[in-house]
Chains A and B, each alone.
Chain A
């Protein structure tokens, strides 16, 4: 096959490309330039889009003996991933830019261009497995190394594109194994640090980035009774589940930590409450995509499955209450803290990805699946804003650093 290997300049994508070469494919390395204002040098664990990263990718291609090109996809990236990131935060939701990058850039713009140019597949350093099912279809599974698994951020790509993807690192035992293999192959990036933060937020300051791009909009922070307990510079900078950075003047009556329960962009208000208030049982999502047939609704899905709402969250047992081509509703009996609108909801049957949707709302409901009392009610993760999007892989050449799934 003719394979386009996305080379980020990190160790994962380099080893993935090497494995594709070993498998006998004709491999061409492509580094995606996703930012127009690139730093000369890589800065710690941030970003994979520096000039230095492009140079590392070039050296990896040299060592592998494959051609190497840089493609400028910065305009597309700004129009899709960055624009979505800003719009989602502005609307009070919690975006995951790595998911959107996989959806709009790596397995859309890059893949489409590759196919048109005569390639058969796109190879990346993602940790996930593609399994050939008995019926001839291909399915997406978790990586062998659960700690590195990136199936959550890949689920958005869908079945058709999965058929054109190649993830050679899905079965490595650990990142250490990848690094050892890189060293054995003479790849200089074998000891390069992983990237964590969002690639296009150069200094890791998500709130600062949002304030710069969206402008300051001062408003109130209120508790569940409506009492004003603090002030903010822009509700968009807060994320459901966030605890740090609230700077509340008055302690809660019960003395317990307070978390962001809801972000209300229309009123430019942030609602805070206790950790218990974050627990939800029912999660609804739209923009669903399925790896299994949903013609028969939830009946086509296993009765008991697992859902995951964060890149490195723990899967929890759930039941599907509703499923159709474009939406889904699941019930998590044990309750879940860490659900914010905008996040991806991925459904698993053990290691196999069944489908994916974007969370629209969630609510407490210990016994029934009735509509929430207040449609505004939300709950979310217990991570601070800006960190929840972060992921841990240097993989994606394609991926803006940090923005890695």
Chain B
């Protein structure tokens, strides 16, 4: 039945049904049921066409046109026109558009209805999916951000996360340009010491929006940031929740839509020395150290970047077919996404098909969403972004005298252990293929007008196949001999979720009540088998038969994983006169990953809002809407390994024993465990303010939050004297506090023909460690310290204090006892600060010198349209972080042979005015990595996206039978403003403690795209 079939989730229907039916009483309801059941027969269908414009007569695309009290509806196309089949002459059409007043127009038998929308209505009537239901934005009591899917879809991105950058406040996103790579996304700070990805809910399926998910299928996306919003998802929601609903068909004849984008990708490059400059510097470093110069091949001048990098390209094509009737709808979409990487021998391809359908009869409705994708990636071997630096320009790409025929380091003429990126790309093949099915089946039964039961069955499976072939040959100096080796693994991931929910919706005068109760069961399993063979068969032309039937010395293995999560959930929403809003959530979770006795956890939350602007006493004319919100809630996390509480025996040891050296098995405990693992709990308080002013032209949201995570589940380092290996045992250890301010403001305006809008996001986050496990005061990882009372991963290094210019300076550099601090130093060497005052430079002199956390991050999104043209631009900036420039720590050192930074000027008696110490081969003393010499400010502002689009005139399109069309030109990462000396200040280091370490992470790429969109 159309009354019950959903357009945007169950909650909205509850509202509409209750609003129009409940007040009339039971008899009327029965009559209504009868009527609607036969509506198809009783009412004559008719088609209504029209055009929607604004007050200036400019067409408005994307306006929602709906038949009132039904889910039948459509949207206007780029020319503002719509066509809708309405059930009968007495229907009422509802036109709504963000920033404009909603209008209702009775059809009254008209065939054409043109509408002019007036500015005024705020964005607050948007419907927001909140998890097991929907709410109107004006009724929200918690921190939820909504992103326009169009903003995501116009960017060229592999994953949703990447495309979200700068569009939402409070969300930290770092990606990279590696084909098939998935961006890191962190909502409201680092709240634990493990995987910090948020929970993705796609059409009710708890999953991850990884590279197998096509961002073009998104119909709506919302980000639940605070505890009370995410609480309904209980465990795993501690890092926030991203809810995605995929597109579905709308009533009407079939609509065909096509969009295509084609891009070129260009990697940023280093400025490295060429052979003449390299040789000069290298000889200087050897001479200074008194080491005989190496016999460099000065006739070779290889540009390794030209060899390893290329212009990449990306193709993204989507075609969708959708339509529907009163009793059902369908949407079929197909997607091809291809990316040839900017690094040789890398690429990613995705083929996707999605089918979303739904239908209804009487009080029963049913639907499904299913996506099938196959992704293949040609993976990178080694890291070419390091290799091109470590390879010397004097090394040729090919060298027939080496096994395999590639050039690499040579003891007498090019001493480097760098990897030839061309050799490794050709000698190692790594391919990954994932075939994934992800979808859900749901059914709804409207038991009473106010009571609804919903069943949801979600299922996801992925068949994973990894294939590796190592061909015979070398890529680096002094490599050990390996024959051709083939390795292959096949795995299968399955996740199933079964949910039952019961929801009630009631209006009693000015009181409105919604209640939800439910139970969910989720089971995740994974199993893998693998095999390896050596001495792979090769034919005379060099081809390897890499199937596992070939070769010798077989090795195999396999493992299985399984986890279960059971939850009970409940939510109560109450509002009085739209003024006072209250929302309470309770969730009880049981996780198989926690120790017996600790498996269950209870997570309550409560939130409230006060719409001040609805109060009678509130008479500020220029404020259209003002709402104050507050929430408090608890969330749990058991996001750890499958059996981390369980001490297991490692049975993989084997030994050779006896005169015949036969093999005997061994078994022992290798990894220690903490047997009492319990829930990690996050408590979050959020205070928010929403306002709309100046005829809703300016809307504004401000949030302040404090999140405290206790009993953080972490693999905290333990003493090595325990003999533990295989990873530190997981323990409920630390307490972390994150507090932050998020501001977001949007202004929309127009001047004659030009419509424009600007949105500014601002995020400021403070992270602080309140306790560490095992009574620990510090955790040291690399060059960082994580210390109680400070943020995670502060830079902890030796401080440099310039360069000694003379021997006198060396001899006069003494501590208070008169001890010469660096007696072995020579002019041109670095002076270190003796912070401990003991007259020598040791680890005791290290101090905290900077934070890897930005002071604040900002996003600026600008849009403007004029007649058929539309311009949009996104800027993103991050300010105040201190980062470790891994690149400079390699190219500015002379102790080891790598290529040098072009134009570098090491200290010499002739050139004493430089910050680079004297070049000295073979000693780390002037080039040690644990100093502040490599730390830089990581401030940057970047134009993430710019596009200009042209909407094709209606008249042209009609001639070829199209209903809409648009062409666009766009660019990504084209402008970056920064003083940072590395390749890219916007990088993603996977380490929690070394988040500021730019360790040759794959950079963001410049992209130039053309796009085409049309429909008919």
Q: Do A and B bind each other?
A: no
Chain B residues in the interface with A (C-beta under 8 A): none
Chain A residues in the interface with B (C-beta under 8 A): none
